[in-house]
Structure 1
Amino acid sequence: MPLTATYKRTSATQITADIYLPSPSTSPCPVLINIHGGAFMLGDSRMVSIPQVNDCLSCGWVVVAPNHRLCPQVNIRDGPLRDVRDCLEWIYSDDGLDRFLRESEEGKAYAVDKEKVMAFGTSSGGMLACGLGYDVPRPPRAILNFYGAVHFTHPCWTQPIPAIKSKLPRNLTPSFLEQVYTQEPIPTSSNVSLEGQTETGQSAGPDFSRPRDAFAFTQIANGAVIQACCPDPEVRREIDPVLNVTKEFPPTFVAHGLEDKMVSIEVSRELVRVLKEAGVECGMVEVPGEGHTFAMAMEVGGRTWELQRKGFDFLERVICS
């Protein structure tokens, strides 16, 4: 089981991160921030791929999986993105991760190598990982983005998804869906992830008797996720990673399934295009036969596993250069 640290306090809530520790080492450990997906509205820190976490631990990395406030009560910039940026600052701070480890029985043997901090995320978490590459005092050394929500002007962000729409109950009224805006405090976790995973790792579909599940899947089905989670077009432009790449952007690798029907692979291709144009070290793997959220279903050692490993090899290469 991971350790749990509070990395941020707001007036209404404490926001936590799960800390996974590798085997003890005499050397300071690199750190990977692992940001969960969930269309900015679902999921939490326990809904990450444990095989991926274990793979990173075998490299000697500390893995930090943060929670963040969930949309739509707060927009992407002021909620999820602000929170994960604060988590990054907490990791770099002398009073942050290092202090937490020193003061915990399980972590006191560990030190953090702050020159080797990396960021990784899936889906909405991929966007948030990329969001650590700009408008921060000190970005991570490298970023790994799995099928992230970027390039907000692409048509895929306004196109309905019939396969999901057909599964929505017909009795979801606006007044019921809008109950999501009344949750207090703003939640940092939900009962199910976009992948259908629960905190226990079991598979479970959305429960449409819960306003949050019903609201989130309605926005996904209607092609309205970005508008619901960031209504102001100016704010969307401010935070879109595709519009914020400069030559100072951290080295970045992208993985995306060729059969993704929820987030067009074209948004990742556009991100890689602007990274190359800016002269940023980057790479991409397009995974045959895989749709959205494939990271949660792949088998260790299988073809998809070996292809996605190229992203983690990229991180290792950057931090060791």
Structure 2
Amino acid sequence: MESRTLEYKKAPDGHAIFADVHWLPSGVSTAKPVALLFHQGGFVVGTKDMIPRVQIEDLARLGFIVVNANYRLCPQVSVYEGPVQDAKDALAWIRNDLSAELAGISADPDRVVAVGYSAGGTLALTLGAVDKPVKAVLDVYGGKMFRDPSWSVPSPGFLTRPKPDAEYCKAIFNEPTVSATEVIFGSTAPPTPRAAWMTLVSQQGTWLAEVVKDGDYERVDPLALAAKSPRTFPPVFTIHGTDDTFVPYSLSERFTKELKDLAIDATLVPAPGKNHLFDVFLKGEEQEYKDTILKGFQFLANHV
């Protein structure tokens, strides 16, 4: 698999925002479809390096150019002004500039799909409501239904963690907004200010209000966006653990039903007994991986 790291935009503060681009050389000159990926992290922590390598490789094997993009993080910017705008700019960069930057590998601007995990799933879904939407969306336990009361109460998943020191959490505002926070799953090291702040506001039940900032949930909520453009909203494939303590599985159930009521092609695949981030440690040969993540990738391939 060939890989390159490319700058797809500069943030208003001048910092470069990068994406990793991966593909399998095919010896064929026809343009390849593109899968645009967004990492998890509640819009607050994380980087593109969190996406499991096996998932990138499988998308490449299915014929995609895989673009795994960083994006700016909250709370220094709002979800709409930071992550959502970066997602839109990444899509525009793929369509307008990627082929020239790869020099010899052609990306088909009309065959782009979006993949996102948790907060990244929200970003992927927003690209179904732009003027020229992506062809399909794979939403892996993404945030949605932001008017639901569950978003304004303490998060059960975060309540199992020690309460962070509020003064220590304030150091997050001294950090850059460009996504660069390393997350090591299972680490026992002390949390970074970003991770501590994310835990604190989630324990308080104020996370969504803190990252949206202006109270305008409609312009970042996937269902509200789909309802405004149901005729052009792309097919959606959602994967969600039934025992998720961070993003309730019931939200994806309701979301899928609401999309179907809007005559939007929507599929929900449950991961029985699984919590948030269940896919991170799955190996490609495991049946659970094949029944969930790989099935989602095949769904994307069928729509390009």
Q: Give the TM-score range, shorter chain.
A: over 0.9
Which residue is equivalent to 1:24? 26
Residue 48 of structure 1 pairs with residue 51 of structure 2 = yes
| Percent identity (aligned) | 29
CA 1:205–1:247: 2 relative to 1, 3 Å: farther
Between the aligned partners of 1:163 and 1:141, the Cα distance in structure 2 is 33
Which residue is equivalent to 2:213? 231
Q: Aligned-pair distance for 1:238? A: 1.8
Given candidates 119, 137, 152, the residue that maps to 2:146 is 152
CA 1:68–1:266: 2 relative to 1, 3 Å: same
Deviation readout 1:178-201 (Å, 9 max, x if unpaired): 221232x42321021xxx43xxxx
Given candidates 150, 159, 174, the residue that maps to 1:182 is 174
Given candidates 242, 259, 264, the residue that maps to 1:275 is 259
CA 1:222–1:2: 2 relative to 1, 3 Å: farther
CA 1:74–1:11: 2 relative to 1, 3 Å: closer
Q: Aligned-pair distance for 1:166? A: 4.0
CA contact (8 A) 1:117 1:140 kept: yes
Residue 258 of structure 1 pairs with residue 242 of structure 2 = yes
Deviation readout 1:36-64 (Å, 9 max, x if unpaired): 00011111111102111111111121100
CA 1:2–1:223: 2 relative to 1, 3 Å: farther
Residue 241 of structure 1 pairs with residue 244 of structure 2 = no
CA contact (8 A) 1:32 1:118 kept: yes
Which residue is equivalent to 1:312? 297
Q: Secondary structure at the match of 2:238?
A: strand
Q: What is the TM-score with the length of structure 1 in the denominator?
A: 0.87
Given candidates 88, 108, 112, the residue that maps to 1:113 is 108
Q: Secondary structure at the match of 2:303?
A: helix
CA 1:280–1:163: 2 relative to 1, 3 Å: closer
Between the aligned partners of 1:60 and 1:148, the Cα distance in structure 2 is 25
Q: Secondary structure at the match of 1:244?
A: helix
Amino acid at match of 2:25: S
Between the aligned partners of 1:6 and 1:164, the Cα distance in structure 2 is 34
* Structure 2 unaligned spans of 5+: none
CA contact (8 A) 2:22 2:60 kept: yes
CA 1:45–1:141: 2 relative to 1, 3 Å: same
Amino acid at match of 2:211: C
CA contact (8 A) 1:165 1:218 kept: no
Residue 130 of structure 1 pairs with residue 114 of structure 2 = no
CA contact (8 A) 1:23 1:60 kept: no
Between the aligned partners of 2:288 and 2:92, the Cα distance in structure 1 is 33
Structure 1 runs (4+) greater than 6 angstroms displaced? none
Q: CA RMSD in A?
A: 1.7
Q: Aligned-pair distance for 1:313? A: 1.7
Q: Secondary structure at the match of 1:151?
A: coil
CA 1:137–1:247: 2 relative to 1, 3 Å: closer
Between the aligned partners of 1:162 and 1:250, the Cα distance in structure 2 is 32
CA contact (8 A) 2:147 2:217 kept: no
Q: Secondary structure at the match of 1:4?
A: strand
CA contact (8 A) 1:206 1:213 kept: no
Q: Secondary structure at the match of 2:127?
A: helix
Amino acid at match of 1:17: A
Between the aligned partners of 1:8 and 1:205, the Cα distance in structure 2 is 34
Amino acid at match of 1:224: T
Which residue is equivalent to 2:69? 66
CA contact (8 A) 2:163 2:199 kept: no
Deviation readout 1:52-87 (Å, 9 max, x if unpaired): 111111112110011000001101000001001100
CA contact (8 A) 2:156 2:246 kept: no
Q: Aligned-pair distance for 1:239? A: 1.6
Q: What is the TM-score with the length of structure 2 in the denominator?
A: 0.92
Which residue is equivalent to 1:97? 98
Which residue is equivalent to 1:207? 190
Amino acid at match of 1:139: P
Given candidates 81, 86, 91, the residue that maps to 1:83 is 86
Q: Secondary structure at the match of 1:249?
A: coil
Amino acid at match of 2:18: T
Q: Secondary structure at the match of 2:49?
A: coil
Given candidates 249, 268, 278, the residue that maps to 1:294 is 278
Deviation readout 1:95-141 (Å, 9 max, x if unpaired): x1111101xxxxx3x1112221100000000000001111x232111
CA contact (8 A) 2:37 2:68 kept: yes
Which residue is equivalent to 1:2? 3
CA 1:205–1:111: 2 relative to 1, 3 Å: farther
